Amino acid sequence: MPASFDIKPLSGALAAEVTGLDLSVKHDEPTMEAIRKAFLEHHVLVFPDQALEPEQQIAFTTWFGAVEPHPLGSRRGVEGFPEVLVIENRPGRPGARNDEWHSDITCSERPPALSVLHALEVPWNRGDTMFCNMARAHDTLSQGMQTLLARMWALHSAESLVRRNNEPGTDALPIAVCPPPAVHPVVRTHPESGRKALFVNASFTISFEDMTRDESAPLLAWIADWSTQHHNIYRHRWQAGDVVMWDNRAVMHNAVHDYDDTDTRLMHRTTAAGDRPV
């Protein structure tokens, strides 16, 4: 018998809340398949009231793919668990900012399929995370724009991540070498659902293939504006104990930076390995 749980959509655009399921214990395959189905439908799942030790967060994430440390060592891991990234803002030591629309680590040849973020401590009514639906952004384009973008590829570079991390004074770790950019299709097809989604973002995409950055900038900016319209967004207000998982193949996210270094915001992040985007 699969465990019983409730799923409630959280906005018209994407995301659903899953209640009645304790993620710290191992669930049977039918239960995990039901979660996967909900995840593919809603792209972002919110599990409130969880208390996960690092090994439990790894075990949950592993169900969706191999859990790996950040390929560039962007932040410290939990002691003994390098694959559990600590994202932390604390009094006197600000956290490195993530308040730009992105999906995780698209500078890599095989960006992570999904990310799981567990909130341990959050500032009162601040530090939300926004998500936008890149599959819906694709599907609502005109036929002409879909055809144009389907033929295009883009370069994704770690250069702005390296710049950010090499600024001292935050929780980010320095990165010595910036790897060459990865080249990904501008429209990718989800390996599990078959849905198409736009796949460029402000943090990593530097240009379209065979075009200059100047030539690329207007269309990249237009895609960003199109994808992040209000009706295409879910904004998550964190409570300590929340676990939120998002599909990097179908959404972008943006960590709202409306707190300062008097606030504590402490999160643990794991990622499940993904395929080369096609």
Residue position matching structure tokens 């049977």:
28
Least Å from the CB of residue 115 to ligand SIN: 6
Cβ(150)–Cβ(268) under 8 Å? no
Single-letter code of the amino acid located at 131: F
152 or 256, CB closer to ligand SIN? 256
190 is catalytic: no
CA-CA distance, 84 to 94, in Å (whole number)?
19
Catalytic choice (75, 104, 118, 242):
104
* Residues in contact with ligand SIN by the rule CB under 6 A: 87, 98, 104, 115, 117, 129, 253, 255, 267, 269
CA-CA distance, 22 to 24, in Å (whole number)?
6
CA-CA distance, 276 to 278, in Å (whole number)?
6
188 is catalytic: no
Residue of 98, 101, 105 lying closest to 127 (CA atoms): 98
Least Å from the CB of residue 17 to ligand SIN: 17
Catalytic choice (42, 43, 102, 118):
102
Cβ(272)–Cβ(117) under 8 Å? no
75 or 188, CB closer to ligand SIN? 75
Alpha carbon separation from 232 to 128, 226, 228, 252 (Å, rounded): 16, 9, 6, 11
Least Å from the CB of residue 11 to ligand SIN: 17
| HEC assignment per residue over 128-177 | CEEEEEHHHHHHCCCHHHHHHHHCCEEEECCHHHHHHHHCCCCCECCCCC
Cβ(167)–Cβ(66) under 8 Å? no
253 is catalytic: yes
Catalytic choice (253, 263, 265, 268):
253
275 is catalytic: no
Strand-pairing partners, residue 271, are 115
Least Å from the CB of residue 152 to ligand SIN: 25
Least Å from the CB of residue 255 to ligand SIN: 3
Least Å from the CB of residue 128 to ligand SIN: 8
204 or 208, CB closer to ligand SIN? 204
42 or 70, CB closer to ligand SIN? 70
208 or 238, CB closer to ligand SIN? 238
Three-state SS at 14: coil
108 or 115, CB closer to ligand SIN? 115
Residues tagged active-site? 102, 104, 253, 269
